[in-house]
Amino acid sequence: MLVSQTLDIVTTAAILYVVAAGLLIVFGVMKIINFAHGGFLTMGGYSALAVSDLGLNPVLSIPFSFAVGTVAGMAVERLVVRPLYSRPLDAILATWGLGIIIGQVITLIYDRGVHFVQSPISGAVLVLGEEYSKYRLVMVAVAIAFGGALALILHGTRLGLVTRAVIMNEDLARGLGIDSGLVRFVTFSLGSGLACLAGALITPLSSVDPSLGISWLVNVFMLVLVSGVSLFSLGVAAIVLGGAQVLISSYANPVYGSMAIVILAALLLRVRPRGFASE
Amino acid sequence: MTKRFVFVACALLSSVASGSLFPAAADEPIKIGIPIGLSGANSVVAPSVVQSAELAVQEINAAGGVLGRKLTLDVADDQSGAAGAQKAYDNLIFQKKVDALITMETSAARNAGLPIVARGKTPFIYTSQYEGHSCSPYMYVDAWVPDQQVAPVVDLFFDQKKAKTFFLIGSDYAYGRGMLGFSKAYIEKKGGKVVGEEYNPMDASDWTAIISKVRAANPDALILSTAGGAPNVTLTKQYKAAGITAMVGNLGVDEGTAKSMGTDAEGVYISASYVSSLDTPDNKKFVGALKEKFGDKLLTPNDLSVPEYEAIYLYKEAIEMAKSTDEAPVLKALGEVSFQGPRGLIKMDKEHHAALTMYLGQVQGDGSVKVLSSFADVPPGEQCPKLK
């Protein structure tokens, strides 16, 4: 029980991390919560479905969903988000509406039915004497790769440097000649790409239907709020709050467990407004 | 002049009182209302239900209608929930003035609609399987209740497969809890042991903690009763990926969903009053007529759409027996008429419910459902002792 519970916590945190990463970087740069994140997750699920319908290797859904999300993100940033830069509240509303539109367009193309994507990895593997789902373990590696790649971009590239400058003080960065509009464009596209990729990555664990992303949106929204803009504190938040969800589900019941992240995050923000962020 | 006026007024008043001021003309259609979840949770299945209603109406009208009058349908979206149902029922009964309601609904929508049905005194045939014990003098049910559905699966596991321990998993709503509550009582009555009973919210997609509990309890069999569609698929995928090998009886999966799950659903046992592969002349005729009417737009007929088709025929029979569409004689007749449909002979004479032939099936590797055995005329048990 102890082994499987530890694995449950680690894998749940990993999945939350993967799903939340795209939302976090958009929030960091643009200071808006992208409510279309749920729509992009759904889009990713359907990208995986399209790959599987064409009979291609399921691994191809990784680059394909990332490309779909990035291109969609570029269009959305240019047409919807950019005109609303000076009105952040309206921008949040616009992304909310956009999420609904994405869901409806998908419904028009694919109907409301539940679809099913073949998993590239299936079955269980023996870990310390416990049978455990292989795919959930793979998600831990994926989460580490997500975090590592994003950290590398932010701290090891020129793009990362200017992005961090925009995150810290956008006006000052602009004063130094940094094209903050371009940084926003790139970040939003990358965040959308990551959201879509995450949507494709969770399909082996869930069904593909028009509300695929909605069930994740509230939880990852709370996670991002308590982690500030740090990739590291997002990891901490995912482990602590995801762990609380698993433990409450096991020892109380799953109905309470499903509310754990939202309630605990709200309480945490009340006593410590900066959440898990270090400064 | 005054005398004549009084006479005319009296005649008018008396005719209003007896409801015959505007007697239904022979060519005025009989209106059937279908409040149904075209959006929301039921939106996956609702279009197939509307298709079978359209087929029934077309067939009846082609054969001369009912008492020389045509049938027409009035479909209203109730968004699968209570708030939408209140609007839809109110609109159909008081504005559109339908003669009867014949539909499948979520339990929440049905419960919200019933008081409106009672206020409008409108005959209502409920065509959806449900958790049982919903009683109204205006409502008849031609689909199954837990008493009819649970026994075939549990009996198979307990008697033939020698399962002793059961773990129950469901979605947290009236239907899920009702089905599993009945299953638990039934298993314990037989001498089996329920080693776990867990519920997840209806829209939850993560079953991790529950699956860990199943692994720890190591039961011989799982009984699942989740909401249709997504929760069903996510739970099946996740227990399969976790390497759980217990036998599985799924009380909430329909044939279409089982098909889309492919190999992950292989081996799962289901229990239903209808499977599309039924090899009877009535079912073949029904499926053939559907194919001809809808062509490639046809949605697979299922355990929710077939009862709708049969209920419209039962309503026709009841009007013909009552020789009118007035609610009192029609309601009385609904408990007496019968119809030979795709599921066999249907008669709603058991406290407003029907005895049904139930099929025990197993999902095959290609997604089809193989019928293992059938149980003729399973009674619904005591549902509404006050209704005769």
Q: Tell me, yes or no, whether B140 and B156 share the same domain.
A: no
Q: Residue B75 has what pLDDT?
A: 94
Asked whether the predicted pLDDT for residue A265 surpasses 60, the reply is: yes
Q: Which residues contact B117 (CB under 8 A, 6 or more apart)?
A: B89, B93, B101, B124, B136, B138, B139
Query: Residues of chain A with pLDDT > 90: what percent?
Result: 37
Residues B203 and B227 in one domain: yes
In a domain, B368, yes or no: no
pLDDT in tens, A124-147: 888 887 788 888 899 999 999 999
Token pair 């031609």 is found at B142
Q: Domain containing B237: what range?
A: 147-272
**pLDDT for position B24:** 52
Say if B118 falls within a structural domain. yes
Residues of chain B with C-beta less than 8 angstroms from the C-beta of A255: 172, 199-201
CATH number where B117 lies:
3.40.50.2300
Interface confidence (ipTM) of the complex:
0.74
For chain A, domain boundaries: 21-211
Residue A90 pLDDT > 50, yes or no? Answer: yes
Most B CBs within 10 A among A100, A128, A206, hence the mutation to make, goes to A206
- What pLDDT is attached to residue B185? 94
Q: Which of A40-44, A106-110, B15-19, B100-104 has the lowest mean pLDDT?
A: B15-19
CA separation (Å) from A96 to A35, A100, A111, A186, B291?
5, 7, 21, 21, 41
Within a domain: B193: yes
**B83, B136: one domain:** yes
Could you tell me if A114 lies within 8 Å of chain B, comparing CB atoms? yes
Concatenate the DSSP letters of all residues of A139-174 into one string: HHHHHHHHHHHHHHHHHHSHHHHHHHHHHH-HHHHH
Q: Are residues B259 and B159 in the same domain?
A: yes
* CB nearest A123 (choices: B198, B243, B256): B243
Shortest alpha-carbon distance between residue B261 and chain A (Å): 6
Indicate whether B155 and B259 sit together in one domain: yes
Q: Which residues of B touch A258 (CB under 8 A)?
A: 200-201, 204, 206
Q: What is the pLDDT of residue B15?
A: 44
Q: Does A77 touch chain B (CB under 8 A)?
A: no
The answer to whether residue B99 sits within a structural domain is yes
Number of C-beta neighbours around residue B95 at 10 A: 9
Work out the number of other CB atoms within 10 angstroms of the CB of residue B267. Answer: 14
Share of chain B above pLDDT 70, in %: 93
CB burial class (10 A; 0-12, 13-18, 19+) of residue B14? exposed
Distance CA A249, CA A239 (A): 15
In sequence order, what are the beta bridge partners of B73? B32
Average pLDDT over residues A75-79: 91
Average the pLDDT over A40-69 and give the result: 91
The CA angle B204-B205-B211, to the nearest 5 degrees, is 100
Q: Is residue B15 part of a domain?
A: no
Chain B positions touching A5 (Cβ under 8 A) are 212
Low-confidence winner among A62-71, A243-252, B249-258, B290-299 (lowest mean pLDDT) = B249-258
pLDDT tens sequence across B287-297: 999 999 999 88
B158 and B117 belong to one structural domain: no
In a domain, B8, yes or no: no
Q: Verify that B125 and B114 share a domain, yes or no.
A: yes
- pLDDT (0 to 100) of residue B16: 42
Nearest to A205 among B204, B210, B238 (CB): B238
Number of domains, chain B: 2
- Does the beta-carbon distance from A246 to B230 stay under 8 Å? no
Q: What is the mean pLDDT of each run of 10 residues along chain B (388 residues)?
A: 50 44 65 90 84 95 93 91 91 94 90 93 94 92 92 91 93 87 93 93 84 91 86 88 90 79 86 88 93 90 92 95 92 94 93 93 86 90 85
- The string of pLDDT tens digits covering residues A226-242 is 987 788 889 999 999 99
List CB contacts (< 8 A) between A132 and chain B. Answer: 242-243
User: For residues A222, A228, A232 and A238, what is the CA-based torsion angle, rounded to 10 degrees?
Assistant: -10
